[in-house]
Amino acid sequence: MNFLGLSGSLRKASLNTALLRETTGLLPEGVAMTVRTLEDLPLLNPDQLESGFPDAVNVLAAAVKQADALVLASPEFNYSVTAVMKNAMDWLSIHPDAPLKAKPVALMSASPSAFGGGRAQYHLREILIYPGARLLGVPEIMVTNAFNAFNEQGALTNQTTRDLIIQQMQALKVMIQA
Ligand SMILES: Cc1cc2nc3c(=O)[nH]c(=O)nc-3n(C[C@H](O)[C@H](O)[C@H](O)COP(=O)(O)O)c2cc1C
């Protein structure tokens, strides 16, 4: 099985990209996960669709279509997802291959706040209603106080958080098989 992790952050030292990278080491047996960022996507302007979808969007849509499940990690910006993540979901929502339709999706976030990016996750759930994704409910992964959550090697230091991610990934695998 193949999961695709998409980060909504463009930062090199992103906590959310680090969270996805950590997750690649916490997967159930028989599952692999590729992590990618979204800086290559242009801003969506429907006027420009007459000349077709940009190559970067077609590449992303194909990767999403081919993945058995998505793991989305977005920073919380002003209580919502980043424009980067929203732009990617908007592109995917209008792509003719409907890559998000019935796609199992798990959400996670990391933030320096005490909320761990949870408010952004709830917006992302709403955003994914129309494109028809299947959202995993629980466990929810919201890494709080996240500048202190990773060690210098980028590993999550809290065992409870690691265990929750293991459980979430297991639940995502079960969801695919259901
Ligand atoms: C424009 C902006 C708005 C932000 N708004 C929030 C917010 O609403 N809630 C929150 O927890 N953190 C907020 N932050 C802080 C981010 O959570 C923090 O920068 C985090 O490191 C971003 O994730 P990243 O490390 O994956 O890039 C905001 C940061 C920026 C730049």
Q: What is the CATH number of domain 2-177?
A: 3.40.50.360
Phi, psi (5° rounding) for residue 138? -120, 160
The pLDDT confidence band at residue 178, using thresholds 50, 70 and 90, is confident
The residue extents of the domains of the chain are: 2-177
Which pLDDT belongs to residue 98?
Answer: 98
The residue whose two tokens read 């695709």 is: 4
| Element of type H or E holding 124 | helix 118-127
Ligand 1, pocket-test mutation among 6, 20, 76, 150, most atoms within 8 A of CB: 76
Average confidence (pLDDT) over 123-144 = 98
User: Ligand 1: which residue has its CA nearest to atom 1?
Assistant: 77
Which pLDDT belongs to residue 161?
Answer: 97
Ligand 1, pocket-test mutation among 78, 123, 148, most atoms within 8 A of CB: 78
Which pLDDT belongs to residue 142?
Answer: 98
Which pLDDT belongs to residue 101?
Answer: 98
Ligand 1 center–CA 127 separation, angstroms: 19
Average confidence (pLDDT) over 22-29 = 98
Q: How many residues does the chain have?
A: 178
Q: What is the pTM of this model?
A: 0.98
